[in-house]
Structure 1
Amino acid sequence: MNFRKAHREDLAMIVRLLADDELGSGRERYEEPLPEEYYQAFDAMEAQAGNQILLAIEDKTIIGCIQLTIIAGLARQGMKRAQIEGVRIDKNFRGQGIGEALFKEAIAIAKAEKCGLVQLTTDKQRDGAHRFYEKLGFSASHEGMKLIF
């Protein structure tokens, strides 16, 4: 397995991963052709420094993804932080340590970017994900809130 930054031509496989779970199936539109909104969003991410989707690749097949965004800020004495979102592992490859390896790679990038912390939000319905994140050393230190339009 290796890791690389996503390219525009990877979008269909990324959206397939995002849509392939109980919550994602109601949020995403994995269809042919892929809706233009995904390409616009990817182009906007590419234009934003420090925003990327990191892929786990096995035999030229995308088996996992994670969005990593480096955020500059004033709080905590100007500390940069890394935000993780959109974590998915192909259902045929779960339980093989791929998620852990993908997280370690994302955390290594965050450290190289001199971030002081890595943060994420996770849906309250994802009990298995909560246990996984805690196993990696994350703690539920804050209550997350969202305003959805």
Structure 2
Amino acid sequence: MGDIAIRPAAADDLAAIVAMLADDPLGAQRESPDDLAPYEKAFARLADDPSQHLVVAVRGDRVVGTLQLTVIPGLSRRGSTRSIIEGVRIHSDERGSGLGTHLIEWAVAESRRQDCQLVQLTSDTTRIDAHRFYERLGFEASHLGFKLSLG
């Protein structure tokens, strides 16, 4: 993946990121690529928080992938720090190219660099292909997750 650069996301990347978030059946129901205002507000919060790492994968000058890595210190597991990978998206033209693996490997390496002892991620129960992908990369299905919508 020598022609791919992974770098922190910039405000100018938001339209491309949101388009990738919306480019699947689940995302199409919950994302609004025609109204970037809420994403701009969220981006400002992420940019101000050193525990948040929103990155993009770029080929040339085109954003072709993204993910968010959150580093969380904690008391459990003997005071372990963990990271959470979220919002992994690959542009439809790049799926199957190895870019997803490259992004996850970056996130795991960055988690190690941040002294994390555990890397977590969640995936919607309907994303069976994603589950197989994460298992191939060494992740294990270990917990049952719950959500409470507040809005």
Report the TM-score, using the length of structure 2 for normalisation.
Answer: 0.95
Counterparts of 1:26 and 1:7, CA distance in 2 = 25
Uncovered stretches (5+) of structure 1, i.e. residues with no partner: none
Listed one character per residue, the Cα deviations across residues 107-136 of structure 1 (whole Å, up to 9, x for unaligned) are 111000000010011000000000000000
What are the Cα deviations for residues 31-50 of structure 1, in whole angstroms up to 9, with x where unaligned? 1xx33111110111111121
Match of 1:62 in 2: 63
**Stretch deviating more after TM superposition (47-56 or 85-94):** 47-56
Task: Choose which of 12, 23, 27 in structure 1 pairs with 2:26.
Answer: 23
User: What is the root-mean-square deviation in Å for CA atoms of aligned residues?
Assistant: 0.8
**1:2 paired residue among 2, 5, 9:** 5
Q: Does 1:12 align with 2:18?
A: no
Q: 1:109 aligned to 2:110?
A: yes
Contact 2:52 2:70 in 1 (8 A): yes
Amino acid at match of 1:108: A
1:95: which partner in 2?
96
Q: How many percent identity over aligned positions?
A: 44
- Equivalent residues, number: 147
For 1:45, the equivalent position in structure 2 comes to 46
Q: CA deviation at 1:65?
A: 0.4
Contact 1:6 1:53 in 2 (8 A): yes
What TM-score comes out, normalization by structure 1 length? 0.96
Q: For residue 41 of structure 2, give the secondary structure of its aligned residue in structure 1.
A: helix
SS at match of 2:56: strand
Query: Are 1:54 and 1:106, in contact at CA under 8 Å, matched by a contact in 2?
Result: no
Which blocks of at least 5 consecutive residues in structure 2 are unaligned? none
Q: Which runs of 4+ in 1 moved over 4 A?
A: none
